[in-house]
Structure 1
Amino acid sequence: MIQPSNRLDNVEEYYFSKKLKEVNLMKAHGKPIINLGIGSPDLKPPHSVIGAIMDSLEDDYAHKYQSYQGLPELREAMADFYKEQFGVSLSYQTEILPLMGSKEGIMHISMAFLNEGDEVLIPNPGYPTYASVTKLLGAKPRYYDLLEKNHYEPDLFALEKTDLSKVKLMWVNYPHMPTGATASNKLFEDIIKFAKRNNILVVNDNPYSFILNDFPRSILKYVGAKDVCLELNSLSKTFNMAGWRVGMVLGKSEYIDAILKVKSNMDSGMFYGIQKGAVEALNCSKMWYLSMKSVYEQRRKIVWQLAEALNCTYDTQAAGLFVWAKLPEYLKAEEYIDLILKEKSIFIAPGTIFGSNGEGYIRFSLCASTEDLEEALARIK
């Protein structure tokens, strides 16, 4: 038996990869599972997007290798999108790199900037991939607390009292997953100043800006941000294109060039048709965003009722694709969701998979039809 690499010793299979095997086995045995655990949009992309990819299949270059930097028209569309939606001016030639999903971008960025032994500031709770990629590269995760009492904002003053000399990278994520907390202007300004003082590259992971959020923000809009910040974004949630794998990283040209060195050695460019569809999505009118908001508002109201039926509390001002709910104090998250899965055939994500500060919380996804949500509510009641 050939032994796996030592780098896998401290990395586990992704939670949802493991848990969905269990859920799918239950479904195969006839259990009527309602999945409220995964943030995979169940709605279709805009009709024009599907038309664009279909029309592109007959183009002369549709089935060839594509540029590692993506089609110029895709990068132009991304630049126009950032200018219109966030008020951020970017050069489509040097400051934007399309990605085959922002999850892959987390790996590309980390490989471009981290050396073995470097430290990385990672939110707790936060997206588990930040930590797993850090460990895979032999760098060291340093978790910083995000607490409800602090509105899920980092205590930068407390962090600066610690030794930050080995910290190379900091992950931030607003609107925040899993809590739905949003960043104020002041928070982004403070993070940029913190990064400059301590020579840290900050990456804001920003895929949820247009889901139930009235004030989309990009960290790149703030003074001095390009010197120390990158931003990741994605079409997965905004345009219901999760399976298409279209993301982007944006920032200073020197940082983008470093990431391109990694990316160009790991893939052979995004499929032409997907790029053409992405261009169409990025040019959607305001009606698209309003229609998505209407659907998710309706769903969220039912999920709030579901949370209340489970004696949970939640923040009605939170943004994003999830409802982060606090359990009664005597309940443990993983034990409780396993009980609900067994007895009610409803899968909900336990807060603990996002970090130790997720204990006592559960996360509901809004990626289920109103019929499924109402059925879940009926089962709980």
Structure 2
Amino acid sequence: MILTANRLNSVQEYYFSRKLKEVRQLVQEGKPIVNMGIGSPDLAPSDKVILAIQKALFDEKAHEYQNYQGLPELREEMANFYKEQFDVELNPTTEILPLMGSKEGIMHISMAFLNEGDEVLVPNPGYPTYESVSNLVGAKTVFYDLKEENDWEPDLDALESRDLSKVRMMWVSYPHMPTGAKGSLPLFEKLVAFALKHDILLVNDNPYSFVLNDNPMSILQVEGAKETVLELNSLSKTFNMAGWRVGMVSGSQKLIEAVLKVKSNMDSGMFYGIQKGAVAALQLGGNWFSEQNKIYEKRRKLIFELADKLSCSYDKQSVGLFVWAKIPDSEPSAEQFVDKILIENHLFVVPGTVFGSNGEQYIRFSLCVNEEKIKEVLNRF
């Protein structure tokens, strides 16, 4: 009998993988399911991006193995993007590493910096992959609370009271997924100071800065952050390129070199045409974001109406690609609430428990659904 590795005992099948099987079965049975669960942009990339990849297919070097560090011009545009959008100076040669999506970066970073038994601070609620990857590399996940009454920001005083001697890494994500909390530069300053004090690698996962957010920020804006910080970013949500798998990690040369050691043993470089398309995306400028946000703003207003119909409360000032809503106190649990509206109203949303125990009384709506579909769902209620 072929046995699986012991590390698989520490993780479960991804929630969306399991639940979408059920959703697909209902669709096959003829149920008119509307999926508001997944944050996969339904809008297309810019025509300029698509033309760039088409043109690139005929370049002489297009179909060869590519450099593990990506095209120099891609790294240059990533550096220009950070300078223009965040006023952060990055050396494109040594402080930026393109990734095949930021999700692979979570694994690469964990493999580069964590030993078996090391502890990792993971937000609750937060992106489930932080926990699963930590488990896969043999580290110990230590959850820290994010609560609505604290604006979904960590209580650093509470963290200071813990034994942090084994903590090697801390995951943060602002704008926060799933709650849409913006974060702030004062928060980033406190986080960087905390990480420096305790020799912790602080990793900010930052794919939502430009979605319905009038003040995009990078944690690298904090003076001295590069000593202890890596920041992940992605073109998936910002430029509607989720399936292209283009992301980046930025930080000091020493930290980037460590990640590259892992990455260079895991793949053979990103496809040339995708890199050329990414270059075109990064050159689009501010009008691209404003036009995308006009669409998302209309959708969000309709989702707010839907949340009202479900007697849910929410923060109108939140940002990002989702609406995080608190279900009525009379409901026994988020998962039962989600199952009820899936069966009765053929609407799939995500229970907050997917993101941690602090999501128990919450659900998450995705804005990756067109206005007509949202209106259709509104009519069902």
The verdict on a shared fold, with TM-score over 0.5 as the criterion, is yes
1:182 corresponds to which residue? Answer: 182
In 2, the alpha carbon distance for the partners of 1:120 and 1:195 equals 12
Q: Does 1:338 align with 2:336?
A: no
User: Counterparts of 1:166-315 in structure 2 under 5 Å?
Assistant: 166-315=166-315
User: Counterparts of 1:36-185 in structure 2 under 5 Å?
Assistant: 36-185=36-185
1:353 corresponds to which residue? Answer: 354
In 2, the alpha carbon distance for the partners of 1:232 and 1:34 equals 31
Report the AA paired with residue 372 of structure 1. Answer: K
Question: How far apart are residue 224 of structure 1 and its match?
Answer: 1.0
Report the AA paired with residue 358 of structure 2. Answer: N
Report the AA paired with residue 15 of structure 1. Answer: Y
Report the AA paired with residue 102 of structure 2. Answer: S
Q: Please give the TM-score of this superposition, normalised by the length of structure 1.
A: 0.99
Question: How far apart are residue 330 of structure 1 and its match?
Answer: 2.4
In 1, the alpha carbon distance for the partners of 2:161 and 2:224 equals 23
Report the AA paired with residue 326 of structure 1. Answer: K
Question: How far apart are residue 316 of structure 1 and its match?
Answer: 0.3
Report the AA paired with residue 136 of structure 1. Answer: L
Report the AA paired with residue 9 of structure 1. Answer: N
Question: How far apart are residue 35 of structure 1 and its match?
Answer: 0.4
Local SS of the residue matching 2:277: helix
In 2, the alpha carbon distance for the partners of 1:185 and 1:234 equals 21
Q: Which runs of 5+ in 1 are unaligned?
A: none
Q: Which string of whole-angstrom CA distances, capped at 9 and with x for unpartnered residues, describes residues 287-342 of structure 1?
A: 11110110000000000000000000000000000000001112210011011111
Identity in percent: 65
Report the AA paired with residue 362 of structure 1. Answer: I
Report the AA paired with residue 283 of structure 2. Answer: N
Aligned length: 380
In 2, the alpha carbon distance for the partners of 1:191 and 1:341 equals 39
In 1, the alpha carbon distance for the partners of 2:287 and 2:215 equals 16
What is the root-mean-square deviation in Å for CA atoms of aligned residues? 0.5
Q: Which string of whole-angstrom CA distances, capped at 9 and with x for unpartnered residues, describes residues 221-275 of structure 1?
A: 1111000101000000000000000000000000000000000000110000000
Q: Which runs of 4+ in 1 moved over 4 A?
A: none
Report the AA paired with residue 81 of structure 2. Answer: F
Report the AA paired with residue 246 of structure 1. Answer: V
In 2, the alpha carbon distance for the partners of 1:321 and 1:232 equals 17
Question: How far apart are residue 92 of structure 1 and its match?
Answer: 0.2
Q: Which string of whole-angstrom CA distances, capped at 9 and with x for unpartnered residues, describes residues 108-137 of structure 1?
A: 000000000000000000000000000001
Q: Which moved more, 1:330-339 or 1:319-328?
A: 330-339
Report the AA paired with residue 173 of structure 1. Answer: S
In 2, the alpha carbon distance for the partners of 1:107 and 1:265 equals 13
In 2, the alpha carbon distance for the partners of 1:144 and 1:23 equals 32
Report the AA paired with residue 12 of structure 2. Answer: E
Question: How far apart are residue 285 of structure 1 and its match?
Answer: 2.2
In 1, the alpha carbon distance for the partners of 2:128 and 2:106 equals 11
